Amino acid sequence: MRVDELVARGLTRSFEFFPPKGDEERLVLETTLVELEDLSPSFVSVTYRGGEASRQRTFDLVTSIETRGLTAMAHLICVGHSAAEMRTLLARYVAAGVENVMALGGDTPRGEAPVGELRYASELIELAREAGPLCVGVGAHPQGHPRSSDRASDRARLAEKLRLADFAVTQFFFEPEEWTRLVIELAELGVEKPVLAGIMPVTTLSGVARMAEMGAAVPDWLVERLEAAHHRGGPGAVRAEGVAAATELCEALLEAGVPGLHFYTLNRSSATREIHRALFP
């Protein structure tokens, strides 16, 4: 089914995976898929980093997930692609019966100049519309895109992009007010498309720095909470505290009326299952 149709029916619960590169990663993902299938997700999404090999891995995983009876969404990125390459890829997805795609700008590898004919997600949306009756999602950054000069310009560009798309999925964040503020600011710009909340628990202290590098700074209060947990009980206590904090975030978002929760799984299921079990016993 189309994601926008699923959202119209009520709260969605979705999971994100990345394509495995080898046999070991493939076995881990297969176990995760089996475990998360039992939670009856509304849909799942599959990331894509660019390049021919990665493109094929994403396509293979998306189509194989669809054969399991799950709705899958394929990520697309601008970096490193021509319009002709993207038209070919979109035609393959349409022919395979895939109905949902995620249009993203993509990240240029560090130290390299941007390459490729396409630059903006809006260009991918236009190509997707040409390809067929696809449902198109876009990314949103509650804290502002790392390349944005200020929040006002970030919101203006996001609103322009979301007018062309069907829904948005946020980068992960840690305070419910970040989602609420984003939705209000979009509404003030005349855009009220559904914005699904991206969720990723911080389960290690080292993850704090990694998440900041990915464009979502962990707030001081949460860092202090995780550090206190480490002093009490080490890495296991940090993990438990991070899962608890993510669960509390989801509870607050549900109370605020979020249309969907989208879990970044990193191809592992345990933390996601714990949060899901607490929210939907």
Query: Residue 201 is encoded by which pair of tokens?
Result: 């628990």
* SS3 of the chain: CCHHHHHHHCCEEEEEECCCCCHHHHHHHHHHHHHHHCCCCCEEEECCCCCHHHHHHHHHHHHHHHHCCCCEEEEEECCCCCHHHHHHHHHHHHHCCCCEEEEECCCCCCCCCCCCCCCCHHHHHHHHHHHCCCEEEEEECCCCCCCCCCHHHHHHHHHHHHHHCCEEEEEECCCHHHHHHHHHHHHHCCCCCCEEEEECCCCCCHHHHHHHHCCCCCCHHHHHHHHHHHHHHCHHHHHHHHHHHHHHHHHHHHHHCCCEEEEECCCCCHHHHHHHHHHCC
Sign (positive/negative) of CA torsion 25, 27, 30, 36?
negative
Burial state string for 36-61 with b = 16 or more CB within 10 A and e = fewer than 16 = bbeeebbbbbbbbbbeeebbebbbeb
Report the interhelical angle of 235-256 vs 270-279 (nearest 10°): 40
For this structure, is 16 an active site residue? yes
Given the residues 5, 16, 117, 241, select the one marked as catalytic.
16
Q: Would you name the residues annotated as active-site residues?
A: 16
